[in-house]
Amino acid sequence: MPDRLSQQQSLALIEELETAKKLIEFGIIDLREQASEGFHHLPLQLLAQGLERLLKLTYVLAVLEESDGLPSIRDIKAFSHGLERIADQLVVLVAPKHGVQEDLEFIRSDGDLRSLLRLLSNFGQESRYHYLDALLDPSSARVDDDPRLQWSEFEDAFISRRPNWAERLGTPEGQEDVFHEAATGIAALVDRLSRAIARMWTQGALPEEAAQFSPQLGVFLHLRDEQLGVPRHLKGRRNSTAQAACAGSRRPSVE
């Protein structure tokens, strides 16, 4: 079967895959660096953008396999920043394919993942400018859209699973350890989702053209279970703006 993507389209796909991969990797790194600092806007921004791009690219190729043509820009924009909706539509498209059923079940039913997708979807669609909205029009800023509150609620689910977490939060050292352990759990969740999506590019869920682009996703594709959430060196990593923004600040203890 001849390639259905032009050279220009192929180059654009490579660039977009590289961007998605780097945004996710940087998001995980900043999540770890800010675990005990309480500033999660940057990792939220990076993870929301990176996972949205990766999900949309995978959906685009799934449509190519299904209909022998690419979706329109309008079709993709209709998803807005709704990661849950994109993920669900992607699962529907690739469900008949073999080789990715375990990954599909994870995307469908893992409670932590569904919570993360809702959190990132809401961040992209509603809460990125929550505090600016609260400044300009306090009556329009809903408490439920506060990204700090949303993240804390999500993070607390991971914190509460840590051994002796309540006692450990009573000391600065214990608090830092607990937040970093929670960040590791969340990073593992992001890694597992990224790996699940990357596998679709190599295990027959997407058209044959997808395989030639899969090396762009090798960092996720080849992750073993024991490597999920484990810090990885990212070549060329620079200090993030979040580090500077959070210098000297500390997150208050969870009550």
Residue 57 lies in a domain: yes
Q: How far apart are CA 185 and CA 187, in angstroms?
A: 5
Residue 130 lies in a domain: yes
Residue 253 lies in a domain: no
Q: Check residue 99 and give its pLDDT.
A: 82
Name which of 236, 230, 203, 238 is nearest 217 in CA terms.
Answer: 203
Tokens of 155: 């993070």
Q: What is the pLDDT of residues 83-122, one digit of tens each?
A: 999 999 999 999 988 789 999 999 999 999 999 999 999 9
The stretch 70-79 carries a mean pLDDT of 95
Q: How far apart are CA 72 and CA 187, in angstroms?
A: 33
| Residue 124 confidence (pLDDT) above 70 | yes
Backbone angle region of 254, left / alpha / beta, with phi > 0 → left and psi within -120 to 50 → alpha: beta
| Residue 236 confidence (pLDDT) above 60 | no
pLDDT grade for 234, boundaries at 50, 70 and 90: low
Q: Check residue 254 and give its pLDDT.
A: 35
Residue 1 lies in a domain: no
| Residue 250 confidence (pLDDT) above 80 | no
What share of the chain in percent tops pLDDT 90? 64
Residue 250 lies in a domain: no
pLDDT grade for 241, boundaries at 50, 70 and 90: very low
Query: How far is C-alpha 175 from the geometric centre of its chain's CA atoms?
Result: 25
| Residue 163 confidence (pLDDT) above 80 | yes
The whole-chain average pLDDT of the chain stands at 87
| Residue 57 confidence (pLDDT) above 90 | yes
Q: Which amino acid is at 211?
A: A
Contact 43, 242 (CB under 8 A): yes
Query: How far is C-alpha 38 from the geometric centre of its chain's CA atoms?
Result: 19
Total domain count, the chain: 1
Backbone angle region of 169, left / alpha / beta, with phi > 0 → left and psi within -120 to 50 → alpha: alpha
b/e sequence 181-204, b meaning 16+ C-beta within 10 Å: bbbbbbbbbbbbbbbbbbbbbbbb
| Residue 54 confidence (pLDDT) above 60 | yes
Q: What is the pLDDT of residues 176-210, one digit of tens each?
A: 899 999 999 999 999 999 999 999 999 989 998 89
Q: Check residue 129 and give its pLDDT.
A: 87
CA distances in angstroms from 184 to 72, 148, 230, listed in the order given: 38, 19, 7
The stretch 51-56 carries a mean pLDDT of 98
What share of the chain in percent tops pLDDT 70? 90
Residue 255 lies in a domain: no
Residue 252 lies in a domain: no
Q: Euclidean distance between the first and final Cα of the chain, in Å?
A: 60
Q: For residue 36, give the 3-state DSSP assignment.
A: coil
Provide the residue range defining the domain that includes 31.
7-245
Q: Check residue 107 and give its pLDDT.
A: 97
| Residue 147 confidence (pLDDT) above 80 | yes
Instruction: Compute the 3-state secondary structure of the chain and give helix, strand, coil in percent, each to the nearest 5.
Output: 70, 0, 30
| Residue 7 confidence (pLDDT) above 90 | yes
Residue 219 lies in a domain: yes
Lowest mean pLDDT among 35-39, 88-92, 214-218, 251-255: 251-255
Tokens of 181: 């352990």
| Residue 143 confidence (pLDDT) above 90 | no
Tokens of 245: 């923004």
Q: Which residue has the higher pLDDT, 247 or 44?
A: 44
